[in-house]
Structure 1
Amino acid sequence: MWLILLEALGALVLLIFIVWWTMFSGRRRGERRHDADEPPAP
C-alpha cells in the first residue's frame, strides 16, 4: 500500500515539475511584465 502511495506522490511531483518548467523555462525573471502585453500607444 505504501509503495502505491509513494509512486503516486512521485508522479504528482513530476507533473508539477513539468508544468513549472514549461511555464517559466523561456523567461529570464519568471512572469512577464503586464506592460509587455499591451500594444504600444500611438
Structure 2
Amino acid sequence: MWLLLLEAAIALGILIFIVWWTMFSGRPQRPTRHKQPTKPEDTENSAS
C-alpha cells in the first residue's frame, strides 16, 4: 500500500513540476503599459 502512495506522490510531484516549468520558464517580458510623457514641444498647439 505504501508503494502505491509513494508512486502517486512522485507522479503528483512530477505533474506539479511540469506545470510550474511550463508556466514560468521562458516567459517573455511584457512591455510596460504606461506611455512615456510627451514633451510640450511635441504637441500640436506649440507647433504654430
TM-score interval, normalised by the smaller of the two chains: 0.5 to 0.7
TM-score normalised to the size of structure 1? 0.63
Q: Which structure has more RCO (C-alpha within 8 Å, separation ≥ 6)?
A: 1
Q: How many pairs were matched up? A: 34
TM-score relative to the length of structure 2:
0.56
* 3-state SS in 1 of match to 2:26: coil
Structure 1 residue aligned with 2:24: 24
Q: Which amino acid aligns with 1:6?
A: L
**1:20 Cα offset (Å):** 0.1
| 1:1-37 C-alpha deviation (Å, 9 max, x unpaired) | 00000000000000000000000011378xx6883xx
RMSD: 2.8
Q: Which runs of 4+ in 1 moved over 2 A?
A: 32-35
Query: Radius of gyration: which is bigger?
Result: 2
* Pair 8,34 (structure 1): closer, same or farther in 2 beyond 3 Å: farther
